[in-house]
Amino acid sequence: MVVARSIWGSKLKLAFAATALGCGVGGAKIANSDDPAAALKLCTTVPVRLFRLSVTAAAIAFDYEYSLMGLPEDSDERAKVKHEVHTRSARRLEDLCFKNGGIYIKLGQHVGQLDYLVPLEYAKAMRESMLNRCPTSTYDQVCQVVKKELGAPPEEIFDEFDPVPIASASLAQVHVARTREGQKVAVKVQHTHMTDTAAADLATVEFIVNTLHRFFPSFDYRWLVDEVRETSPKELDFLVEAGNNVKCMDNFRTLSPHIADCVYAPTIYWSLSTSKLLTMEFIEGPQVNDLKSIKKLRIRPHDISNLVSQTFAEMMFKHGFVHCDPHAANLLVRVSPSGGSSLFGKCKPQLVLLDHGLYKELDTYTRTNYAALWKSLVLADVKGIKESCMKFGAGEDLYTFFTSILTMKPWDRVIDPSVDHLAINDESDLQIYGPEYFSQVTELLHRLPRVILLMMKTNDCLRSVNNALLQRPSLESFLIIGRVSSEAVIEEKSLHAKSLLRLISVWVEEISLEARFILMRIALWALQFKKSLSL
């Protein structure tokens, strides 16, 4: 008990020291600010949030150190106790995120999408709560933002403005409105507290995480704070989001014209948009995982699954400009305005992409090598897989682990030559990379380019969408990924072919790959036919 009191005492000292530091910085802000009222509001809010963060961090650190003290490594008892501590700590973190809101919700959402980078207890708790319980701003707060950004309250700017939001996320909420010209629009209004506290919240979270890392070197989540610090300013500037929207559609028209009619993003109303308020075309359509509504539109879920795979494969491997938040709420489906139908008489789908705040640009080297990696993964090319992983810095010791968490498959299945080797067959595959691999994950994080971590998150979101659509493994999506990644590799080789002989060699490789994918598709059809007979 003496040891416990000593440990807990040191954690409380850390909590109070961190809070005192925050209050000191707050006092300096009030003294030097051009807007003392705003600074006073900031400095009366941030210390409270910082104190909650400090106490929660200290409680979690104490729980781990005290509960695991004296338990042998790799023992069943330690594993059981660690699971209990993970569960308790995840609840504490969840409670902190909801009480503090804002950037804390965003951090919680990131944690919820990182099954293989954080203990599963944390990922599950954050995933189940953070996307569905986001705070909302009051209508008075919304009116304040509209008046400040557009110069007048909503009723003077718009012909109609619904005071009840149709959706709320960590950074903003969306209201339906109608312009003076009669167009139905969606108005995305940033939560007022985001602007007030975002920078201070990030600074305090970074301080606590860095402090904990100094006390406990194995606790190293500085990369997560770095990621949020880099992406948050862009997500908080809605004009950046509007620009991403336009660039995304331009890329499909110029680089992927064969599917440009099948992908859509809402039109931006620039005269009614600012960095904190975004007005865009209102799009009717069910979310991509709403199977009941999709079937009412006479659209096959299978066709949507293929379209989602094709859309994001084109972004990753050909455009190098990737929408990195493709969860179901950001993907709508509607019948294609251009008409047409599938071979089965069903309507042709159009995928509507929402929320363009989080994009990543891949330079040519990264984009081409990432395409080469996925081409090799789909074709079970061991040599190609290793070469691509080594270029990303995974090394001789971690390249098999890297491919496993990228595909959520054990290495022996990654290199299995069967056509369905990358399809997810059961839930056990999703849970094989838990806390016991923490040291390998941490080392991999230090080696890989930061952009690849976001691509891994994007892959997980797309995998979840495809599973929701089909309720079973999506075999064809991997063929689509393999084909588009192969096309990207061939295009890059053709651009850099310096002789006719080299160009002919590239053409031969292209024909060979085309023939191989045709054979794989035939094998896939045969496999699907065999499975249908056995049902």
Q: Which residues have a catalytic role annotated?
A: 325
Q: In this structure, how many other beta carbons lie within 10 angstroms of the beta carbon of residue 233?
A: 12
Q: Write 244-252 long-range contacts (CB < 8 A, 24+).
A: 244/323, 244/356, 244/357, 244/359, 245/280, 245/356, 247/321, 248/315, 248/321, 248/323, 248/353, 248/356, 248/359, 251/315, 251/319, 251/321, 252/314, 252/319
Strand 331-335 relative to strand 349-353: parallel, antiparallel, unpaired?
antiparallel
Radius of gyration for the chain, computed over Cα atoms and rounded to the nearest angstrom: 25
Contact by Cβ (8 Å): 355, 167: no
Give the burial class of 5: count Cβ atoms within 10 A of its Cβ; 0-12 exposed, 13-18 middle, 19 or more buried: exposed
Say whether 331 sits in a helix, a strand or coil: strand
Q: Of the candidates 146, 133, 187, 145, which has an alpha carbon nearest to the alpha carbon of residue 165?
A: 187
Q: Are 320 and 367 in contact (CB under 8 A)?
A: yes
How far is Cα 321 from Cα 360, in angstroms, rounded to an integer?
A: 6
DSSP classification of residue 336: -
Helix (H, G, I), strand (E, B) or coil at 530: helix
Give the 3-state secondary structure of residue 187: strand
Residue with tokens 């708790």: 125
Tell me the helix, strand and coil percentages in the chain, rounded to 5: 65, 10, 25
Helical packing angle, 382-391 and 364-378, nearest 10° = 150
Tokens of 463: 């995998």
Q: Which two tokens stand for residue 6?
A: 């000593």
Q: Distance (Å, rounded) from C-alpha 478 to C-alpha 408? A: 13
Give the closest residue to 319 by CA, choosing from 267, 268, 257: 257
Angstrom distance (rounded) from CA 469 to CA 351: 13
CB of 150 closer than 8 Å to CB of 277? yes
CA distance 351 to 462: 13
